[in-house]
Amino acid sequence: MVTSKQKEERCGSCGRMKPKKELRCNGRKIHCLDCRTQYRHIYEQRCREGQAIHTHHASSADVGIETWGQVDSVIREMAESQFKINNEYMGLNRRIALLKKYTAEAVEPELIHQINFRLMLETFLKKTCSTEQAILKRFDFGVLRFHRGKLDVELDAAYAGQRMDKP
């Protein structure tokens, strides 16, 4: 049996658990697709500005670190930066959850409205059509199929959007 933990691995950049199919290895470190895309966008932007991020190993003269104490400071800065990144992702997840909640609240009355219309159509079709008879009718805003007591409605929402508030 394969558990979900076996299907996920931690991204070496953002530190979040991701499905293995969203991770890529660059030979030394495993990165998720989101981090790779983000890095690529930053890299391309820096290249356009003439400030490319150097990915090659710098010589000791270019490093800018001369003592182990400086290494500790760099590691601290990196950890603090990662903390900020993680907080942003947590905030993003909270905002996404709020958007989903608000969207569900806005959509719910429309879904109830559609369910009521669907019930009205089914009642009408069951009264007027035989259950063995297959019905296919095309209308301006969609296609109606009714066969063996089952209703299928294919709506043309794009056309409805164009005609909204027009006679």
10-residue mean pLDDT profile of the chain (167 residues): values are 64 80 80 84 84 55 79 92 92 95 95 95 90 89 92 94 91
What are 132's two structure tokens?
A: 């063995």
Q: What pLDDT was estimated at residue 45?
A: 84
- The model's pTM is 0.51
Q: In angstroms, rounded to a whole number, what is the distance separating the alpha carbons of residues 117 and 50? A: 60
Question: What is the model's pLDDT at position 54?
Answer: 57
Beta bridge partners of 17: 10
Task: Tell me the chain's radius of gyration from C-alpha atoms.
Answer: 28
Structure tokens at 135: 């019905």
**pLDDT for position 93:** 92
Cα–Cα distance for residue pair 93/84, rounded to 1 Å: 14
